[in-house]
Homo-oligomer: A and B are copies of this chain.
Amino acid sequence: MAVYTHLGAEDLARLIAEYDVGELVSAKGIAEGVSNSNWLVETTGGAASSGTRFILTLYERRIDYADLPYFLGLLDHLAAKACPVPRTMHDREGASYRMVEGKAAALIEFLPGVSPTRPTPQQAHAVGEVLARLHLAAQDFPQTRANAMDFAATATILDACGGERLATIDPALPAMLGHARAAAALDLSALPQSQTHTDLFPDNVLMLGDRVTGLIDFYFACTGPMVLDLAVTHAAWCFDSDNAYRPDCGAALIRGYQNVRRLDEAERALFPDVAKGACLRFVASRAEDWLDTPDDALVTRKDPMQFAKRWQFYDDSGAGLLVG
Main secondary structure of the interface of A (DSSP, over half): mixed
- A30: contacting residue among B40, B42, B113, B118, CB under 8 A: B40
Complex CA–CA separation, A220 to B80 (angstroms): 49
Contacts of A206 in B (CB 8 A): 26
Tell me the nearest residue of chain B to A117, going by C-beta: B8
New A-B contacts (15) at CB < 8 Å, excluding given A8-B118, A9-B114, A10-B117: A2-B2, A9-B115, A9-B116, A11-B117, A12-B114, A13-B114, A24-B114, A25-B208, A26-B112, A26-B113, A26-B206, A28-B32, A29-B30, A40-B40, A42-B112
Cβ–Cβ contact B116 & A25, under 8 A: no
- A323 CB within 8 Å of chain B: no
Contacts of A30 in B (CB 8 A): 28-31, 40
Shortest beta-carbon contacts, A-B, top 3 = A8-B117, A9-B114, A29-B31
Contacts of A113 in B (CB 8 A): 25-26
Interface residues of A in 61-114 (CB under 8 A from B): 112-114
Interface residues of A in 204-249 (CB under 8 A from B): 206, 208
Cβ–Cβ contact A29 & B32, under 8 A: yes
- A27 CB within 8 Å of chain B: yes
Interface centre among A1, A11, A28, A29 (most CB of B within 10 A): A28
Chain A 1-42: CB-based contact to B (< 8 A → 1; otherwise 0): 111000011111100000000001111111110000000101
